[in-house]
Copies of this chain bind each other. A is one copy, B any other.
Amino acid sequence: MHKTGGDNPKKLVSCPVEATIQVVGGRWKVLILHRLLEHDMRFGELLRALKGVTARTLTKQLRELEADGIVSRTVHQQVPPMVEYAITPKGRELEPTLLAMHAWGEKYG
């Protein structure tokens, strides 16, 4: 979720819960985090793992997560190029949230 932001002017968050939703609210972000919490992944791996996402969208969501300090992006200089995404400590602390969401989603939904 992430819609009124525009150029991400930090948005003036009134409640801590809102801050978290803005970081995790994107269409694919929780899925991305879910994967990266298990192990680092390359761009192409994520692209295949998240059936349905396009490269353009995946790139944007990853960039936003990166800007929020949730994931790190490491470019391995070589041919062909290889870019690895990993979760940061800050991002890993979202794991309880993800687990809680997973539990709820499994019970309902």
Contacts and interface: CB of A to CB of B under 8 A. Distances in A.
Contacts of A105: 13, 15-20
Interface residues of A, number: 41
Contacts of A55: none
Contacts of A16: 101-106, 109
A59 interface: no
Interface in A1-54: 1-4, 13-27, 30-31, 34, 51
Given A96-B104, A100-B100, 10 more contacts: A1-B25, A3-B27, A16-B109, A17-B30, A18-B30, A18-B105, A19-B108, A21-B25, A24-B101, A96-B103
